[in-house]
Amino acid sequence: MFRVIIRNAVSNWVGYLVQAALALLLTPFVLGTLGAAQYGVWALIIGLTGYYGLLDLGIRAGLTQYMTRHLANRDFAQLNRTASTGVVALAGCGGFILITSLGLAIAAPRLFHLPLGSEQEVGWALAINGCAIALQFPLFPYSAVFAATQRFDIANLIGITTRVATALATFYTLSADHGLIGLSVVVAGGNVLDYALRWLVAYSILPELRVAPRLANLKSCWEFLHFGLWNVVIGGSNRLLLYSGAILIGLLLPAAAIAPYAVASSLINYFTELFVPLGAVFFPMATELDAQNQVEGLRSLYLFGAKMLVLLAAPLALLAGFWAEDFFRLWLGSAADSDMPSACANLFHLLLIGAVLNSSQRVSYQILLATRRLKLLAVLFACEALVATTLALCMIPWLGVYGAAVGSVLPALVFQGIVHPAVVNRLVQVPWRHYLVTVWLRSLLVTALLTVVLMIIRLAPVSTWSHLLIQGAAGGAAALTLMALVGLSREQRRRFLFGPLKRRLWRPQPGEGNEPRPQSQRTARSAVRVG
């Protein structure tokens, strides 16, 4: 089991790193080829079509859950009925998406401030992307097979292959000056190819799979609909937080204004995604502790996990913020006008505040899920998304593109900084003062000391990538040192640094160190008592 977990975790990280690397390589090229206005339009198209995922009504989340459950019970008859029902139901959702995308393609020129002469091109791009998503929907049950069989490594291999192929095709298409329509065909084709390959490979890794419309039934459909509806609220809220900024800017400002916000927010998304797998590893243990009614163990797990995430997120955000303008200037180069690197850096600095708070609450989300508070989590996300959208709508006419960032950060300060921890603190019986001292005090001290060190390191001007890498490496080394010496307690240093180092350097001889540990040291409570 441990080997499978390591294999899946490593493959997920590799897939994430490949995706991030391709985005970093392609963004300046796409921006320089399309120009700021057309790049803003492309970000708007991605934002609009990103909402299509909500039209599955939670079917995909429930489908993955129940296919995994039926496979674990070796109930292949029920698994095939569930998969077949999913294909039929999602085909219906795909048909609705097709109609919606065609309507949006017609309405878009009247809703958004598009560049003159691009209305027809934008309509075609929306229609192409919408048709591709409509085709992907009925193929999703085959993708769920990879999660049910724990073959994330094969799924990531397919994803990496199609992403690299799409990146190469994007370079060729834009070099040949095929514009937004060509880019839409490439991206849509790459996504459909990805799902088609999963469809073919699914039968190899699960030979018992049989999908046929005659196996579909309403009972299976109701099962995964009931499970997935609150996931729709959470997913919709996350999409609203993710895409609403670019869409509102497109509604209220010229399309060119979307470009710096889209560039900055894309890097913020990669920052927050770094902490998603770190937070997810706490879910199984939190579920076990909740099932055993071990409130003390759940409390220790929560405080430890939140502290570790803050200790990682705050210094990393500080490093990113210090060299943001230098990075954007070198990264975008001649692809952007002279003002864009500065605008991207300013937006990035604002959005980083919300990103750190969001990352710090990854364990809180897992605690709420593990204790079956899915409805409460959905309500919290929905309230934050609605407040953020309303604020952005009010502030963009006043502050321009920065209004979208401010509208995102202020709700994050309230919900991620106060409301989420207050809810979980009450759930696991942690006083506010104890939470602030345990989770934030050492991390803030590390951040303050690191700020002084980084100001000294950055006294030398940055003019090349090599200068940026050298200064970044020096800052990273300083951050790691301060995190170890100041951020961790003495007990945590002994357990997580010196203990593993000692075991690696000194291996006991045969017959030594093999005494059984006392039973008290193997309890769930001691497993999570981390100082």
Angle at 56 between CA 53 and CA 62, to 5 degrees: 110
CA distance 15 to 99: 33
Which of the two residues, 111 and 357, has the higher pLDDT score?
357
Which residues neighbour 362 within 8 Å (Cβ) at sequence distance 6 or greater? Answer: 275, 276, 278, 279, 280, 305, 309
Distance of CA 58 to the CA centre of its chain: 18
- When pLDDT is cut at 50, 70 and 90, the band that residue 423 belongs to is very high
- The enclosing H or E element of 373 equals none
CA distance 245 to 235: 16
The pLDDT score that the predictor gives to residue 426 is 93
How many helices and strands in the chain, by DSSP H and E?
24, 0
CA distance 353 to 356: 5
DSSP alpha helix (H) spans, 112-151 = 119-136, 140-148
Closest to 375 in 3D by CA, of 205, 226, 501? 226
User: Rounded to 10 degrees, what is the CA torsion of 7, 9, 11, 12?
Assistant: 160
Is residue 412 within 8 A of residue 238, CB to CB? The reply is: no
* Packed helices 179-205 and 2-50: angle between N→C axes, nearest 10 degrees: 150
Residue 50 has pLDDT above 90, yes or no: no
Select, from the ranges 135-139, 286-290, 330-334, the one with the highest average predicted confidence (pLDDT). 135-139
Read off the tokens for 505: 């350097």
Chain length of the chain: 531
The pLDDT score that the predictor gives to residue 257 is 85
Distance of CA 238 to the CA centre of its chain: 10
Instruction: Give how far Cα 262 sits from Cα of 20, 109, 259, 415, 475, Å.
Output: 15, 20, 5, 23, 27
Residue 523 has pLDDT above 50, yes or no: no
Which of the two residues, 398 and 371, has the higher pLDDT score?
398
Residue with tokens 């505040």: 353
Is residue 312 within 8 A of residue 487, CB to CB? The reply is: no
The pLDDT score that the predictor gives to residue 293 is 83
Which segment of 17-31, 176-190, 297-311, 515-529 scores lowest on mean pLDDT? 515-529
- When pLDDT is cut at 50, 70 and 90, the band that residue 197 belongs to is very high
CA distance 218 to 320: 50
- The enclosing H or E element of 484 equals none
Closest to 43 in 3D by CA, of 23, 16, 69? 23
- When pLDDT is cut at 50, 70 and 90, the band that residue 514 belongs to is very low
Q: What is the pLDDT of residues 330-385, one digit of tens each?
A: 988 766 667 888 999 999 999 999 999 999 998 898 888 778 787 888 889 889 98
Closest to 155 in 3D by CA, of 343, 355, 15? 15
Residue 521 has pLDDT above 70, yes or no: no
CB neighbour burial string for 453-470, b if at least 16 within 10 angstroms, e if fewer: bbeebeeeebeeeeebee
Is residue 288 within 8 A of residue 524, CB to CB? The reply is: yes
Angle at 311 between CA 528 and CA 286, to 5 degrees: 30
Closest to 294 in 3D by CA, of 367, 401, 185? 367
Instruction: Please give the average per-residue pLDDT across 267-291, as a whole number.
Output: 77
Is residue 133 within 8 A of residue 101, CB to CB? The reply is: yes
Helix (H, G, I), strand (E, B) or coil at 443: helix
The pLDDT score that the predictor gives to residue 121 is 86
- When pLDDT is cut at 50, 70 and 90, the band that residue 4 belongs to is low
CA distance 446 to 480: 10
Residue 300 has pLDDT above 70, yes or no: yes
Average pLDDT, the chain: 83
Q: What is the pLDDT of residues 441-476, one digit of tens each?
A: 999 999 999 999 999 998 888 889 999 999 999 999
Residue with tokens 């296919």: 67
DSSP 199-266: HHHHHHH-TT----GGG--HHHHHHHHHHHHHHHHHHHHHHHHHHHHHHHHHHHS-GGGHHHHHHHHH
Neighbours of 193 (CB within 10 A): 16
Which residues neighbour 158 within 8 Å (Cβ) at sequence distance 6 or greater? Answer: 194, 197, 198, 201
Identity of the amino acid at 411: P
CB neighbour burial string for 307-341, b if at least 16 within 10 angstroms, e if fewer: bbbbbbbbbbbbbbbbbbbbbbbbbbeebbeeebb
